Amino acid sequence: MSGVLTPAAPAPAPARVPALRVTQGRVLLSEFTKFRSLRSTMWTLLAAVVLMAGLGALFSAVTASQYHTFNWAERAAFNPVTTSLNGVTFAVVAFGVLGVLLTGGEYSTGMIRSSLTAVPRRLPVLWGKLAVFAGSIFPVSLVASFLSFFVGQALLSGHHLGVPVTAADAPRSVTGAALYVTVAGLIGVALGALLRNTAAGIATFAAVFFVLPLLAVLLPASISDHLAPYLPPNAGSVIWGGAAALPNALPPWTGFALLCGYAAVLVAAGAWRLRRSDA
């Protein structure tokens, strides 16, 4: 019958979009995206590689040219592997600064609020940052460490002072240099999470890795000889030979384990503050 309205068919219900679950894998992907998108990441890594390889080559070249002036004690203490890796002492600050920026930088910009809103449980964010940092830094530092070794040994070999990579303690020292700067960088990540300020984190890192060892030297020998080996930079650097000449120096892997212990304590403190405090 004309004029009778037929009811319109009901509109189809919108398809339900499944809610994305927050998983550690997705947090890792997010943190890696943020890490590689930071302009400071590439420049800081480049600076670290240049410091490790460039200064290692400089130390090797200077040592090779002056070796003939060494006295018997200096020649006895000479270690060609350690000489080529001496750039690690200075490169560690670049890795530490990058670690602080990874966490402290988000607090400075306020981006941490977005991160914690997306991940309300909070701690997966910190675990993600630590995993991304270690997984990115160790391969880079390992390549830089081998580069430092081979360039340094090439320069030393011109004066018949170089050794092959198969020499005693050489594999451990070269790999240990990469492990050392990676764990030192993780301490920077932990300081950034704990202090929540890039300037404070960088200043604290510099004080721990550069100022404290210098202050320990000024103490009486009866105190310094027993205190200095347990400071974080001295304990950790024995794995690549950097502090092996200190009185009462720890065995390489014992010293590195102590450095890892310092890092674990700081990470735990940063995790505690992240759980207990507002962003």
Q: Where are the domains of the chain?
A: 24-276
Q: Which of the pair, 164 or 117, is modelled with greater confidence?
A: 164
The whole-number pLDDT of residue 9 equals 55
Place of tokens 């560690």: 92
**In whole numbers, what is the pLDDT of the chain averaged over residues?**
87
Q: Ramachandran region of residue 274, left (φ > 0), alpha (ψ -120 to 50) or beta?
A: alpha
Task: Please measure the distance between the N-terminal and C-terminal CA atoms of the chain and give it in whole angstroms.
Answer: 68
**d(C-alpha 149, C-alpha 76), whole Å:** 20
In the chain, which residue ranges form alpha helices assigned H by DSSP? 24-37, 39-66, 72-77, 80-84, 88-109, 111-118, 123-157, 170-195, 198-206, 212-218, 221-227, 232-237, 252-276
Over the stretch 5-30, which tens digit does the pLDDT of each residue have?
Answer: 555 556 565 555 455 677 778 888 88
- Is 172 within 8 Å of 82 (Cβ atoms)? no
| 40 φ/ψ sector (left φ>0, alpha ψ -120 to 50, else beta) | alpha
Q: Worst-scoring range by mean pLDDT, 73-87, 110-124, 126-140? A: 110-124
CB 228 within 8 A of CB 216: yes
